[in-house]
Amino acid sequence: MALYNTTTKQEFEEHALQSERPVLVDFWAPWCPPCRAMAPLLEQIAEETEFDVVKVDTEASQDNAALALQHQVQSIPNMKIFKSGAVVAE
């Protein structure tokens, strides 16, 4: 479906929490080799499935760092699936 890179809480809410489709949220950072290795797979998921993919660079903004804390991200990469605004799988 679509791949979004978010840098604000508002973008996260729009693309992850308010989406009518299931959303795979990837919490990541550029310095993380496993995160970079997952990028092509996440692009493929966005293109070939009914999932939207939202990438949250945990170091790109204060909003993103706060989102990681709010969603109890303690290590990266960390992925969660949201549906109707709620986490349904981790």
The DSSP annotation for 19-42 comes to -SS-EEEEEE-TT-HHHHHHHHHH
Catalytic residue among 1, 32, 65, 81: 32
What is d(CA 26, CA 35) in angstroms, rounded to the nearest whole number? 9
* Residue 50 DSSP label: S
Catalytic residue among 16, 35, 46, 76: 35
- 32 is a catalytic site residue: yes
DSSP H or E segment with residue 47: helix 33-48
- 35 is a catalytic site residue: yes
User: What residues are labeled active site?
Assistant: 32, 35
